[in-house]
Amino acid sequence: MSSAPTPAPSQPLASMDEWEDFLKTRYPEPAPAPAAASRRPPPVGVAADKRAEEFRQYEADARPTVREFYRLNHTHQTYAFGQAKRKEYLGLNRMKMSVWEAMEYLNQLIDDSDPDTDLSQLQHLLQTAEAMRRDGQPRWMILTGLVHDLGKILCLWGEPQWAVVGDTFATGCAFSPKNVFPEFFAANPDSAEPRFQTPDGIYTPGCGLDRVALSWGHDEYIYQVCKDYLPEEGLYMLRYHSFYPWHREGAYDQFATAKDRAMKAWVLKFNTYDLYTKSHEAPDVAKLRPYYEELIREYFPDQVRW
Ligand SMILES: [Fe+2]
Ligand SMILES: [Fe+2]
């Protein structure tokens, strides 16, 4: 493993799936869930010591590409970087297109991955939504599943992998050791910013997660695109689905309100579908399209601002 060649500097992952595959090893599905009804959020904070030990092992076993990806992400995602990207993208003045068009647009993203074993972005969105549909989840949640990764279109606009995917974390305060590969934060310029060195940093406890600037990526972007159209539970799923340090590890919870904590149950419910429903069986896009076009029309205008 240690003799692996040095990965490419800015885009180490052959495919963004590599990051998600790593998450699956870090957070194995809690129990076999053959029946849909048995899907439930995994326990948080159970046997923390044992799990901490296991996580170190997952880090040790991580592919060099994944490790390099986290190194870049933790080095370059500063508070100022996130603010600059919010300014750059959240005016939503880049494109106007329908949700289905955005799905097709994202699908142009060809990761350098094995076409026989990896799903396209469109297929992952449809598989996530279809698993929810099979379980009889509400229509707004199925739609949330359908759109949840559309923020990855940031990659098509020249953003590096480390600025689009990766577990998100709070900036503007001390980096939590509950983040994966916490040692890589030493190279982050925010580690030398005096205001950011306490657990609360520039925030006050209980201020609400919406006041906390998370590291920038596809979650915040798709949340902002959808915030006028989906119910609040769905918006929490979009905005925090990669916030593993919070929803799986309990980090940064001092900023959460009672409402944030209540909404976490929805984020965890979403996570079971996002992470564990990938299968090699490709969904029939043409056959599914009419159902999803109708569902999209129920909540979204024909043209959405991106
Ligand atoms: Fe995602
Ligand atoms: Fe996803």
Q: Fill in the DSSP letter of residue 10.
A: S
Buried b (16+ CB within 10 A) or exposed e, 191-220: eebeebeeeebbbeeeeebeebbbbbbbbb
Helices (H) then strands (E): counts for the chain: 12, 2
Residue 36 domain-assigned (yes or no) = no
Residue 175 domain-assigned (yes or no) = yes
Total domains in the chain come to 1
Give the separation between CA 80 and CA 86, rounded to whole angstroms: 10
Q: Fill in the DSSP letter of residue 214.
A: B
pLDDT of residue 103: 97
- 3 CA to centre of ligand 1 in angstroms: 31
- 194 CA to centre of ligand 1 in angstroms: 32
Confidence band (pLDDT; 50, 70, 90) for 276? confident
pLDDT value at 88 more than 80: yes
- 193 CA to centre of ligand 2 in angstroms: 33
- 154 CA to centre of ligand 1 in angstroms: 12
Residue 4 domain-assigned (yes or no) = no
For the CA of 155, the nearest ligand? 1
The environment of the single-atom ion ligand 1, i.e. residues with CB closer than 5 A, is 149
Residue 39 domain-assigned (yes or no) = no
For the CA of 222, the nearest ligand? 1
Phi/psi for 170 (5° steps) reads -75, 140
Enclosing domain of residue 178: 17-30+45-305
- 241 CA to centre of ligand 1 in angstroms: 6
The stretches of the chain forming alpha helices (DSSP H) are 17-26, 48-61, 64-76, 79-89, 99-106, 121-134, 139-147, 218-226, 232-240, 244-247, 258-276, 285-299
Tokens of residue 165, six digits: 């995917």
Over residues 58-62, the mean pLDDT reads 85
Residue 2 domain-assigned (yes or no) = no
Residue 5 domain-assigned (yes or no) = no
Confidence band (pLDDT; 50, 70, 90) for 3? low
Confidence band (pLDDT; 50, 70, 90) for 4? low
pLDDT of residue 160: 96
The environment of the single-atom ion ligand 2, i.e. residues with CB closer than 5 A, is 149, 274
Give the separation between CA 267 and CA 150, rounded to whole angstroms: 17
The chain-wide mean pLDDT, for the chain, equals 89
DSSP-derived 3-state class of residue 230: coil
| Percentage with pLDDT > 90 across the chain | 75
Residue 3 domain-assigned (yes or no) = no
pLDDT value at 6 more than 60: no
For the CA of 217, the nearest ligand? 1
Q: Fill in the DSSP letter of residue 56.
A: H
Residue 37 domain-assigned (yes or no) = no
